[in-house]
Amino acid sequence: MGLAERDYMRRDYNSTRSRNFKSNTQESDNGRFSCIKCGRTYSTKEAAMACFRSHKTQFKDLKIKKDGSYKLPFSYKFKNTVKKVISNIFQFVWGIVKLIVIICIIGFLINAFFGFDLSEEANIDTSDLVPSSDAVTTLLNRSESNLPYYTECIPYSKASGKQVCLINYKNATDPTWDELLSFLKNDTTDEYTYSYSSFVCADYAEVLHNNAEASGIRAAWVSVDFAEGPGHALNAFNTTDRGLVYVDCTGEGFLPLVMASVSDTVNIIPNAECDYDKIAYITIGKEYGLISIDKATSSGYWFYEDYTKKWNGYEKKLDAYNIEVEKYNRAVEAYEMDLKAYEEVLGGRTVIDDPTEYERLNKMYNELKRTEKELDLQYEKLQRQKEELDRLEEELGCPWEPLGIVTEIKIYW
């Protein structure tokens, strides 16, 4: 039995084609034979075949064999294939779109009913940054086109518990290195005293950011995580001539200084003598370094490493100097004791009649003069060492203690 005959003998065939199909086909008489083109049913196979032949005008070059079988032209098959491929692609894309919409709706509902906390993911808090209960970044006033600024609140809190909110000015631009240093020297944020209960690093970073933006300088608020201990907050500026520069203006009460100067008798430099506006040197996997802006001439991490080497050299020279000073002081004490003994023996006399006593006193005198000359030479050497140490100390400024090994950096512009 041929293809056409098999199809015509299909029973109870329900066509999906429109019942309003208009063509030059014969009228259906609701039989058990169906036309495979339009789906109409007929009581006889011949009527169904006649209906099918009536559709041949739809196909060019359609050849129907005597047994009722046929072969569709290539162009028709190609068009149908293209249509099927396009339809499948459209259905696939539409399915993805619906899936994304469903995921977004589910996420929105979860956030609306349960909420979430980004500050735990950022790992900034413990003794300094307090994560905000509102973890979703909120933009305020951005839709007000007539305002020169907008406020963005980020998922971190200040010492007061209030959320950190950044005021961004629309006309703020990236500064040059010199413009940035000039702004920092005039800004007073670093004059606040650090207090865990009232003013922490998150507060410093917020105030400096908002002051910079108000001055027309584009700024960022930055959070840093460490391998150990609490996180830290600072600022960043994208300078036009030196790229990204990190700035830490945390004031007195936060960081101790790690080195004594030549003139100090303790191992901590008085904080009041140092500039709290500092360039921060941050690289993942390396220690968080700081150099006061009056001594920082580059923002590259290599500069901090070179600076650290110079301080290590200064420490070695300072240790050697202190050892020599102790030796010198002991020698001076011994010299003064010998001088006192000589003066007691001499007893204020200017003439010694006894030749033996004269020779002994003369020997003591010559020994004292030799020691005095050696002490003078040693003193001059120590003076030169001190001048070199003073020069290095002036060049290096205040050495700030590193905060730890950096593991993550997040920047909020």
Same domain, 186 and 273: yes
Same domain, 249 and 319: no
> How far lies 147's CA from each of 171, 174, 348, in Å?
11, 20, 92
Same domain, 146 and 261: yes
Indicate whether 300 belongs to any domain: no
Q: Mean pLDDT in the chain? A: 79
Is the model more confident about 110 or about 7? 110
Which pLDDT value is given to residue 53?
A: 72
Dist. CA 232–CA 410, nearest whole Å: 11
Indicate whether 103 belongs to any domain: no
Indicate whether 121 belongs to any domain: no
Name 59's Cβ contacts closer than 8 Å, sequence gap at least 6: 72, 73, 76
Same domain, 279 and 364: no
163 pLDDT more than 60: yes
Dist. CA 48–CA 28, nearest whole Å: 9
**pLDDT tens string 308-347:** 999 999 999 999 999 999 999 999 999 999 888 888 888 8
Same domain, 178 and 34: no
Indicate whether 98 belongs to any domain: no
Same domain, 348 and 386: yes
169 pLDDT more than 70: yes
Which pLDDT value is given to residue 346?
A: 82
Is the model more confident about 132 or about 307? 307
34 pLDDT more than 60: yes
**pLDDT tens string 230-262:** 999 999 999 999 999 999 999 888 865 554 444
Is the model more confident about 327 or about 1? 327
Same domain, 206 and 327: no
Rounded to an integer, the average pLDDT of 167-179 is 96
Q: Which of 213, 221, 220 is nearest to 171 (CA)?
A: 213
Site of tokens 């203006």: 249
DSSP secondary structure letter of residue 27: P
Same domain, 217 and 149: yes
Which pLDDT value is given to residue 114?
A: 66
Which pLDDT value is given to residue 264?
A: 47
Indicate whether 307 belongs to any domain: no
User: Which segments of 347-410 does DSSP mark as H helices, in order?
Assistant: 355-396
> In the numeric block, which tokens belong to residue 123?
């790992």
Site of tokens 């191992």: 267
Which pLDDT value is given to residue 29?
A: 59
Q: Which of 318, 327, 307, 328 is nearest to 390 (CA)?
A: 318
Same domain, 160 and 197: yes
Is the model more confident about 204 or about 396? 204
Average the pLDDT over each of 144-148, 192-196, 218-222 and give the range with the smallest value: 144-148
User: Which segments of 258-300 does DSSP mark as H helices, in order?
Assistant: none
Indicate whether 258 belongs to any domain: yes
Report the SS3 class of residue 178: helix
- The residue from 72, 99, 126 where one domain ends is 72
- The residue from 20, 51, 72 where one domain ends is 72
- The domain containing residue 165 runs over which residues? 138-295+404-412
Average the pLDDT over each of 90-94, 309-313, 353-357 and give the range with the smallest value: 353-357
Same domain, 15 and 158: no
Which H or E element spans position 346?
A: helix 301-346
Is the model more confident about 294 or about 7? 294
Same domain, 317 and 171: no
Dist. CA 199–CA 201, nearest whole Å: 7
Please state, as a whole number, how many other Cβ atoms lie within 10 Å of the Cβ of residue 216.
Answer: 13
Structure pTM?
Answer: 0.58
Indicate whether 211 belongs to any domain: yes
Confidence band for 396, pLDDT divided at 50, 70 and 90: confident
Average the pLDDT over each of 14-28, 110-124, 188-202, 315-329 and give the range with the smallest value: 14-28
Indicate whether 125 belongs to any domain: no
5 pLDDT more than 50: no
**pLDDT tens string 199-222:** 999 999 999 999 999 999 999 999
- The residue from 54, 72, 90 where one domain ends is 72
Same domain, 318 and 245: no
User: Which segments of 114-228 does DSSP mark as H helices, in order?
Assistant: 118-122, 177-186, 201-214
* Winning range, highest mean pLDDT, from 30-44, 134-148, 204-218: 204-218
> In the numeric block, which tokens belong to residue 411?
């920047």
Q: Structural domain tally of the chain? A: 3
**pLDDT tens string 259-312:** 444 444 334 444 447 889 999 999 999 999 999 999 999 999 999 999 999 999
Confidence band for 377, pLDDT divided at 50, 70 and 90: very high
